[in-house]
Amino acid sequence: MNALRFWFSLVLVGMLGVIGWASNRCALFEIPGEVLRHPWFIATLFDAYLAFVAFWVWVAWKEGTTAARALWLVVILLWGNPAIALYMLLELARVRRDGGGLDAVFTRKRPGALTLPAILLGLGLVVYLIGAKNVLFA
């Protein structure tokens, strides 16, 4: 389980680092049109977002309320791998606190708390609005 904690911590820190680096280089909504239309850019985005939805299907099974499921869907689509890594780190922390093995991570359902996905959704919207300021207020 420590290897999983290490891996998901590495994913979270690495992705936040590369997102910060990219954000300092150019605004999110200033991707050149030729890049947006490139077949491999489209294929890569399609692949990533299908993986996000596939992970969310498992999250939707685990979370006990429709509101939590919906919030996690939007958060995973906004944040991608950082949201996935954070979700997994929280699940792994619960195993340590509540006892049980990895079975608990993958087979135990949750009541569907709304606080964390709501906070992440708010942060995601702020980040996207900051990234879009030159598009929205041009």
Query: Residue 91 contacts by C-beta under 8 Å, 6 or more apart in sequence?
Result: 105
Q: Which amino acid is at 94?
A: R
Q: What is the mean pLDDT of residues 85-99?
A: 84
**pLDDT band (50, 70, 90) for residue 135:** low
Number of domains in the chain: 1
Q: pLDDT at residue 130 above 80?
A: no
**pLDDT band (50, 70, 90) for residue 120:** confident
Taking alpha carbons only, the member of 138, 102, 136, 134 closest to residue 27 is 134
CA atoms lying within 13 Å on the CB side of residue 117: 24
pLDDT score, position 57: 97
Convert the pLDDT of each residue in 95-117 to its tens digit: 877 666 777 777 777 777 888 88
Q: How far apart are CA 80 and CA 74, in angstroms?
A: 10
| pTM for the structure as a whole | 0.82
DSSP per-residue letters across 91-113: HHHHHHHH---HHHHHH--B---
Residue 100's domain comprises 2-136
Q: Compare 46 and 127 and report the one with higher pLDDT.
A: 46
Give the CA angle between residues 47, 43, 28 to the nearest 5°: 90
Which of the 8 DSSP states describes residue 1? -
Convert the pLDDT of each residue in 11-63 to its tens digit: 999 999 998 888 888 777 788 889 999 999 999 999 999 999 999 999 999 99
Taking alpha carbons only, the member of 68, 73, 84, 79 closest to residue 125 is 79
Q: pLDDT at residue 136 above 80?
A: no
